[in-house]
Amino acid sequence: MIIAVRLPFEVIKLILILTVNYYFYLLRILNKIQPDMKKILVPTDFSKPAVIATEVAADIAKRSGAEITLLHVVEGASEQSINVEGEATYEGNWEDKIFTMRLIEKAKKQLAKAVADTKLEGVKVKQELRIGTPFHGMNAIISERKVDLVVMGTSGRSGLEQMIIGSNTEKVVRNAHCPVLTVQNKPASKNFKDIVYATSMSKDEEVFSRIVRNTQKIYDSTIHLVRINTPGNFQRDAEVKKYMESFAKKLQLKNYTINVFNDITEEEGIIYFAESINADLVAMATHGRTGFAHVLAGSIAEDVVNHSRRPVLTFVTKRK
């Protein structure tokens, strides 16, 4: 027996409003976990690595329909980032002011030349010139423009120079709220057909896995999931592969391979595994440790960024 219940109009109206609100809530969540690459930031100092990064970004933009912002920061005494529009004002003595204004005029010409590069034909490009420190300039633009991806060149650092100075690239990798693609050398191919996804199989990687899947979709790639076994962190292959298969299914990965690679350190294992399969791109999450925690634990992702000859895609999944 079916009993019909007539609901008051106000109740029906409330149910409809709640349903619509929930629908848009789900859409917002979906957009967060399945990010598009619509806004790409390319910081440039006009060096060879920066030019290579611009070429890689241009290829991504053409494939994804994204726009590129070319950013150059004229280094000044201030730790803040100041936008340069027309006649910029700059605090300091007259000699410093004149010197800075000359740097700005030179940078404007270099930036205009970079934007006019034929490799950027067919891509919507904006240019941004700022005064301050490079890291603060990049960080400000990432927040202001809601950047989806940063593509930047790196010359790589090692030893004492890396410990004391660090690089702007490392700071961005450690702190950015969006994926960062670092390029040290000109890639053998800009067609990222084989992607090494170095994973710890952490639940924190769910968002990053969708970033990797989005990259895979753009390039029609194969994802090579890899877990690095080291003397200090060793697990049997059979157990690891079982966990990795479960992890891949949970994240709904398609067109992938499961791999376990043995090496002395995670960093060396990731780099050598990528070389062994002639990968086009390395993807890995980082916890974004800062301050004393970073000094103690370091970062595998930053080590790979500094020493890999292949492009490296990173994303901060958990901040410590």
Within a domain: residue 18?
no
Domain end: 121, 153, 185, which one?
153
Angstrom distance (rounded) from CA 161 to CA 102: 30
Same domain flag for 198 and 149: no
Same domain flag for 304 and 223: yes
Mean pLDDT score across all residues of the chain: 78
Contact, 315 vs 202, CB < 8 A? no
- The arithmetic mean of pLDDT across residues 65-74, rounded, is 92
- Asked if pLDDT for residue 192 goes beyond 90, the answer is yes
Same domain flag for 199 and 312: yes
Domain end: 103, 120, 153, which one?
153
Same domain flag for 202 and 309: yes
Same domain flag for 213 and 135: no
- Which among 177, 197, 138, 162 is positioned nearest to 298, based on CA atoms? 162
Q: State residue 283's pLDDT score.
A: 95
Q: State residue 10's pLDDT score.
A: 61
Same domain flag for 206 and 268: yes
Within a domain: residue 10?
no
Segments of the chain assigned E as strands = 39-43, 67-75, 82-83, 125-132, 149-153, 180-183, 194-198, 222-229, 256-262, 281-286, 312-316
State how beta strands 194-198 and 281-286 pair: parallel
**Single-letter code of the amino acid located at 259:** N
Domain that holds residue 130: 39-153
- 3-state secondary structure at position 4: coil
Q: State residue 83's pLDDT score.
A: 55
Within a domain: residue 268?
yes
Least confident range from 132-141, 236-245, 247-256, 268-277: namely: 132-141
Same domain flag for 214 and 148: no
Within a domain: residue 80?
yes
Contact, 112 vs 143, CB < 8 A? no
Within a domain: residue 142?
yes
Same domain flag for 64 and 135: yes
Q: Give the confidence band of 7 by pLDDT, cuts at 50, 70, 90.
A: low
Residue 265 DSSP label: S
**How many residues can be counted in the chain?**
320
Within a domain: residue 30?
no
Q: State residue 40's pLDDT score.
A: 95
Same domain flag for 144 and 237: no
pLDDT digits (tens, 9 = 90+) for 197-255: 998 877 778 888 888 999 999 999 999 999 998 888 888 888 888 888 988 888 888 89
Same domain flag for 44 and 135: yes
Contact, 131 vs 107, CB < 8 A? no
Q: Give the confidence band of 8 by pLDDT, cuts at 50, 70, 90.
A: low
Q: How many domains does the chain have?
A: 2
Q: What are phi and psi of 24, to 5 degrees?
A: -70, -30
Give the C-alpha distances (Å, rounded to integers) separating 19 from 24, 29, 100. Answer: 9, 15, 57
Q: State residue 221's pLDDT score.
A: 95
pLDDT digits (tens, 9 = 90+) for 148-177: 999 998 875 544 334 333 467 778 888 888
Q: Please state whether the predicted TM-score (pTM) of the whole model is above 0.85.
A: no
What CATH number is attached to the domain comprising 75?
3.40.50.620
- The arithmetic mean of pLDDT across residues 268-285, rounded, is 94
Within a domain: residue 231?
yes
62 or 205, which is more confident: 62
Least confident range from 2-16, 92-106, 132-146, 271-285: namely: 2-16
Within a domain: residue 173?
no
- Asked if pLDDT for residue 31 goes beyond 90, the answer is no
Same domain flag for 302 and 201: yes
60 or 171, which is more confident: 60
Residue 116 DSSP label: T
Domain end: 153, 186, 209, which one?
153
- 3-state secondary structure at position 114: helix
Same domain flag for 235 and 309: yes
